[in-house]
Amino acid sequence: MGVDRRRDACDTRCVPSEQKQASIDRMNAGMHDFVPHNRELGLAVVDFRHPSGELWMRLPYDARLVGNPDDGMLHGGAITTLMDAACGMAVMVRLGTASRIATLDLRIDHLKPGTPGRDVVAHTECYKVTRSVAFVRGFAHHGDADDPIAAVAASFIRKDAA
Amino acid sequence: MSAWLERVRAARAASDPAPLLEAIPYARFMGLSAGLVEGELRCSMRFSDHLIGDSSLPALHGGATGALLESVSILTVLWRSETARLPKTINVTVDYLRRGRARDTFAAASLTKAGRRVASVRALAWQVDREAPIAAADAHFLLTPE
């Protein structure tokens, strides 16, 4: 309660300025209009860095997303959805505009069990774009980037590319 | 005996895998159900507006398709092996082959290898025509021997 969620998401080095927060709010409004499943899960962009194509996105812990009723851990599918969304949004950050893209493939490695009850933050980076394809990698953690619970590698086809 | 082994044995005795998915909150949230079709374990994901990932088309969210593929894979491992706990996903790779349309989606998986500690699974998801799958997955799971 009263915790600065942006801070625990990606540490103090990237607490957004007011102006940046306005762009983040616009990104979230656009995403929630355009992607009903992201809205349903409460996915939210918490920060981004433009030229490097980096993005931070939060998945709030939700009892509906539990994969094992015996321990309360989130289902892998919820992590896949977070990673797919965070990777796709990193492509748009890198391109600097909302773009028509579709996931070509996506690999998730589950590095360690998540902690029931904790939100998950994805930090993704679109490290290369070509005319047709965008490549993204990233990690997910519970607030400590040095202690990741999952890794992702994904590629996207650019549908509006020449 | 562990809770999952108990659930699996009861489901096998009734030749009905449905209760295994019903025990999982996320499967209920995603509209997943399971059954045997000509002896093959199948999962289906009932279409719902909240599963849309691109409302301009509309298209299913890649994460929803991935969740269906991972779920049918886990269920197939449970059904076919004697793991004392729910298999833990080590990794999953999803290939998106066609746009998932705003309709029900089906999936089945085959156990490529079931070792003592690790199971390898391939899964396929389709909508109208199984010969025109919308996505495929390769996944590895960690097993807990009884």
Q: Which of residues 65-94 of A touch B (CB under 8 A)?
A: 65-70, 74-78, 80-85
Is ipTM beyond 0.90?
yes
Q: Mean pLDDT, to the nearest integer, of A113-135?
A: 97
Question: With an 8 Å Cβ cutoff, is B144 touching chain A?
Answer: no
Is A15 in CB contact (< 8 Å) with chain B? no
**Does the beta-carbon distance from B96 to A40 stay under 8 Å?**
no
* Interface touch B91/A36, C-beta < 8 Å: no
Assigned token pair, A86: 């965070």
Asked if residue B61 has pLDDT above 60, the reply is: yes
CA distance A60 to chain B (A): 14
CA nearest to B53 within chain A: A35
Nearest by CB: A105 against B24, B25, B96: B96
Omega of the bond leading into A51 within 30 degrees of 0 (cis): no
- What is the Cα–Cα distance from B10 to B53, expressed in whole angstroms? 36
Cβ–Cβ of B62/A103 closer than 8 Å? yes
Q: Report the b/e string of B105-130 with b at 16+ CB within 10 A.
A: bbbbbebeebeeeebbbbbbbbbeee
Beta carbons of B94 and A65 less than 8 Å apart: no
Least confident of A49-53, A137-141, B70-74: A49-53
- pLDDT at position A109 is 98
- Nearest one of B136, B13, B32 to B75, comparing CA atoms: B32
Is the full-model pTM beyond 0.90? yes
Option in A34, A106, A113 nearest B62 (CB): A106
Whether residue B2 contacts residue B84, with contact meaning beta carbons closer than 8 Å, is answered with: yes
Which H or E element spans position B32?
A: strand B32-37
* Smallest Cα distance from B23 to chain A, Å: 7
Distance from CA of A73 to the nearest CA of B (A): 10
**A97: confidence class by pLDDT, cuts 50, 70, 90:** confident
What is the residue whose two structure tokens read 């980037």? Answer: A145
Q: Provide mean pLDDT across the span A7-15.
A: 51
Q: Report the pLDDT averaged over residues A123-144.
A: 97
pLDDT at A162 (0 to 100): 59
Cβ within 8 Å of residue B23, ≥6 positions away: A69, B7
Q: Which of B6, B89, B105, B140 to mutate to test the interface with A (most CBs of A within 10 A)?
A: B89
The pLDDT, as a whole number, for residue A138 is 98
* pLDDT band of A98, cuts 50, 70, 90: confident
Instruction: Tell me how crowded residue A96 is: count the other CB atoms within 10 A of its CB.
Output: 10
Say whether residue B56 is in contact with chain A using an 8 A CB cutoff.
Answer: yes
Give the whole-angstrom CA distance, residue A68 versus residue A12.
Answer: 34
Cβ contact A80–B95 (<8 Å): no
